[in-house]
Amino acid sequence: MIPFIKSFFYAFDGIIQFFRSERNGRIQLLLGCATIVLSAWLHISAGEWLLVIGNIAAIISLEMVNSAVEKLCNLLHPGQHPAIKFIKDVAAGAVLWSAVCSVVIACIVFVPKLKLL
C-alpha cells in the first residue's frame, strides 16, 4: 500500500511542477476554469458537461505529455535531429488537434445558448 501512496504523491508533485514551470499549462488551466464558470452560468445539460470536462481534461493532459516529451528530447539529443523535430511537432500537434476539437465543441454547446440570451 505504501508504494502505491508514494507513487500517488510523485504523480501529484508532477502536476504541481507542470503548472509551476509551464506558462501554456497555466493559460489552459485558466481557460478551463473560465469554461466551467460559463457552463455553470448557462446551465448546460449533463451530456454537455461530459463533453466540456472531457475536453478540458484532454487538452491539459496532452499539454503535460507534450511538455514531458519536449524535456526528454532536449535531454536525450540537445543538438538538431530530424527525428526530434518529428517527435516534438507531432506531440505539439496533438495539443493543437484537441484545441481545435474544443473550439468545435464550444460552438456546438455554447453558441445556441448564448443566442437565446
Ligand X SMILES: Nc1ncnc2c1ncn2[C@@H]1O[C@H](COP(=O)(O)OP(=O)(O)OP(=O)(O)O)[C@@H](O)[C@H]1O
Q: Give DSSP secondary structure letters for 31-44.
A: HHHHHHHHHHHTT-
48 is catalytic: no
Binding residues for ligand X, rule: CB under 6 A, are 70, 74, 77, 80-81, 84-85, 88-89
Nearer to ligand X, 13 or 89 (CB): 89
Cα distances (Å, whole numbers) of residue 15 to 11, 22, 65: 7, 11, 11
Catalytic residue among 18, 55, 59, 63: 63
Q: Which of 84, 116, 98 is nearest to 32 (CA)?
A: 98
User: Smallest gap, in angstroms, from Cβ of residue 92 to ligand X?
Assistant: 7
- Cβ–Cβ under 8 Å, residues 69 and 88: yes
Cα distances (Å, whole numbers) of residue 46 to 41, 49, 80: 14, 5, 48
Nearer to ligand X, 38 or 73 (CB): 73
Nearer to ligand X, 39 or 67 (CB): 67
User: Smallest gap, in angstroms, from Cβ of residue 101 to ligand X?
Assistant: 22
Known binding-site residues equal: 10, 22, 63, 70, 88-89
User: Smallest gap, in angstroms, from Cβ of residue 14 to ligand X?
Assistant: 18
